Amino acid sequence: MANSIDMISRSAARQVIYPLRPSFVATFGEAEAERIEVAAAGHKNGIHDNSGSDPFRWALMICLGGRCLEEDRFRKYHGIKTSWGDIDAWLLDHSYELAAHDGDVNFIAAMAGKYNKYMPGGNETNG
């Protein structure tokens, strides 16, 4: 009989993970994707700089952890034009891709539960 870890592993293996940038660009445009990448690069600090296998996924995670996508003052500073509601809904629709992130995140935000809402089956404990 398979244990729960084996069942989760098999279930995850069936989930196809696609790079996030093409979908984001198709939805919000190239310029918005570039603004997010520039915003994330501005937060490099030697602690959460490893982008993993998908640099755009890393940029989203860093900007999400730093609240660059949701707080008006940070959105204005970074020039992000898409509404937080639209980005939030898109992130929720791409939770499996976000959960596959294999790079760094904003570790303080992670400890505070900032990413929980965006993980498959997750719930919002903070954010």
pTM of the entire structure?
0.78
What pLDDT sits at residue 2?
A: 45
What pLDDT sits at residue 16?
A: 53
User: What CA–CA distance (Å, rounded) separates 67 from 74?
Assistant: 7
Write the burial class of residue 59 (CB in 10 Å: 0-12 exposed, 13-18 middle, 19+ buried): buried
Burial annotation 1-32 (CB, 10 A radius, 16+ → b, else e): eeeeeeeeeeeeeeeebeebbeebeebbeeeb
* 8: Cβ contacts below 8 Å, ≥ 6 apart: none
List, run by run, the mean pLDDT of 10-residue segments along the chain (127 residues).
Answer: 40 57 95 96 83 88 92 96 96 86 82 83 57
| Domain boundaries, given as residue ranges, for the chain | 19-118
Check residue 123 and give left, alpha or beta (phi > 0: left; psi -120 to 50: alpha).
beta
What pLDDT sits at residue 53?
A: 84
User: What CA–CA distance (Å, rounded) separates 75 from 71?
Assistant: 6
